[in-house]
Amino acid sequence: MRLPRIRIGRPQQMALLLLLVFLAECLWVVSRQQLSQQDYRYAECGREMWERPSPLAGYFTTCGNLNGDGTFAYRVAGLPLTVQRLVMLGADKLRRPENRLYTDGTLRGSMWEARHQLYSVKYLLHLSFIFFALWLGAGLWWVSRRLFGNEGGFFALGLYCFCPAIIRFAVTPNNDVLAMWGLYGLVYAAMGVAHAMQGPRRKWRPRIALLTLALGLTAAAHLLAAMVGFVMAAVWMMYLAQRRRSYVMQILVFSALGALLILFAFYAFRLAPFSYVFTGGGARFWFELDGARRFFLNLVNASIVGATVVALLVFAGMRRSRYFGNTAPLVMTLLLLPLVTVQTVSAPWLWALPFLFTFVGGVFADALETRQRKMFLVLSGAILVTQAMICLTFLPEIAR
């Protein structure tokens, strides 16, 4: 089987440059951070999930049974430290017995006890979450570019890379950045399945597997995000599948069963802690605009707010911009912005941002194809430059 050729042209290089700028922003913030009590909690309980999943009788970890709190972030935080521990123990066994550093052959203990044994803990702990934020940025660019062309893709990615809220959540262990990553991938994977259903069946399976994986990982991060993604996946698939709609529910049922298996694996296939997924209340929600209000009234997001207002005006006034590629991310944004969780501390408004940037990028790409191209080209550049300057100025505040 011949592997597909990967062509790295000018668009890919420019997108990579923006993502490297985003990475530099995050690393600058991390370099000025101090490990917090929350960092130690995620790291220690994550290590317990990988190394010894039952440290206390009747509990999954010393964090308890994680009522309503997804296990994904804990495992992401603990995996690099567990891998480093195994590497250090493996290297130690290559030494002579009299020269070994860990004579009992273990390197466990709490994160506080192991802080002098493990090295670069701060970077290992935070880089995993930065990686998922970078992955989401690359996915955002790929989706926007396929839908709207290079200009729409770059504008959406630029807003993402210079959004202080995205950077703030990317440099701390949390489930919200993983839920944001998973929900965006889940929705567009569902659309990909619906499009594939118009072709031969041999092309269905890889995309259905991707949909199942996205649903399972999103549920492991946050159950509410997975539920919203599952419902909207059904809506978009029903809309796009057309003459193949009879297969949609079958695909969704099998995807849901596979996602439950993935979620069960995150609890080490233990029924007792897994049962708290259904009784912990992590998916309880209500509607409130406090989170969205704080984001849109914050001066550091002034250029993003301005771009959103312009995009809404163009969307309402220009008929050619009101098509599925723009409407779907707008609907997702309007659905997620007013959501609030009542059992756990989460930020569903953050999950809406990639969809918002996709919508804004698509509308601006449409406007750039009109007679007012020069005006919108100047406006797009001014928005990105202004937002970049505001974001870079605000980085010291994020690092505090």
Long-range contacts of the stretch 5-8 (C-beta < 8 A, 24+)? none
Provide the residue ranges of all domains of the chain, joining segments of one domain with +: 37-119, 150-173+284-400, 175-268
Q: pLDDT tens digits for 336-352? A: 999 999 888 899 999 99
Lowest mean pLDDT: which of 43-47, 232-236, 334-338? 43-47
Alpha-carbon span 280 to 353, nearest angstrom: 27
What is the CB neighbour count within 10 angstroms for residue 127?
17
What is the CB neighbour count within 10 angstroms for residue 79?
16
Q: What is the rounded average pLDDT of the residues 63-72?
A: 74
Query: Cβ(65)–Cβ(273) under 8 Å?
Result: yes
Amino acid at 70: G
- Position 76 scores a pLDDT of 95
Query: Cβ(165)–Cβ(295) under 8 Å?
Result: yes
Amino acid at 383: I
* Residue 310 Cα distances to 137, 313, 343, 363, 367, angstroms: 23, 5, 36, 9, 10
DSSP 185: H
CA trace torsion 301, 304, 309, 311 (10° rounding) = -170
Residues 6+ apart with CB under 8 A from 115: 121
Examine the pLDDT at 211 and tell me if it is beyond 60. Answer: yes
Record the tokens describing residue 116, joined without a space.
């002098």
- Position 64 scores a pLDDT of 67
Residues 6+ apart with CB under 8 A from 379: 310
- Position 253 scores a pLDDT of 96
Nearest to 301 by CA among 396, 360, 388: 388
Examine the pLDDT at 101 and tell me if it is beyond 80. Answer: no
Alpha-carbon span 120 to 126, nearest angstrom: 10
Alpha-carbon span 274 to 377, nearest angstrom: 52
Amino acid at 88: M
The conformational region for residue 281 under phi > 0 = left, psi -120 to 50 = alpha, else beta, is: left
Lowest mean pLDDT: which of 4-8, 61-65, 93-97, 396-400? 4-8
Q: Per residue in 16-46, is it b (16+ CB within 10 Å) or e — as a string?
A: eebbebbbebbebbbeebeeeeebbbbbbbb
Share of the chain above pLDDT 70, in %: 90
3-state SS assignment for residue 104? coil
DSSP 134: H
Provide the pLDDT confidence category of residue 1 given band limits of 50, 70 and 90.
very low
Strands 339-341 and 285-287, sheet pairing:
antiparallel
Q: Could you tell me what percentage of the chain is helix, strand and coil, using 3-state DSSP and rounding each to the nearest 5?
A: 75, 0, 25
Amino acid at 215: L
Examine the pLDDT at 334 and tell me if it is beyond 90. Answer: yes
Examine the pLDDT at 384 and tell me if it is beyond 90. Answer: yes
Provide the pLDDT confidence category of residue 112 given band limits of 50, 70 and 90.
very low
Residue found by looking up tokens 């504008």 in the block: 155
Taken as a whole, the chain contains a residue count of 400
Burial-class residue 299 by CB neighbours within 10 Å (0-12, 13-18, 19+).
Answer: exposed
Q: What is the rounded average pLDDT of the residues 57-86?
A: 80
Nearest to 217 by CA among 230, 232, 204, 235: 230
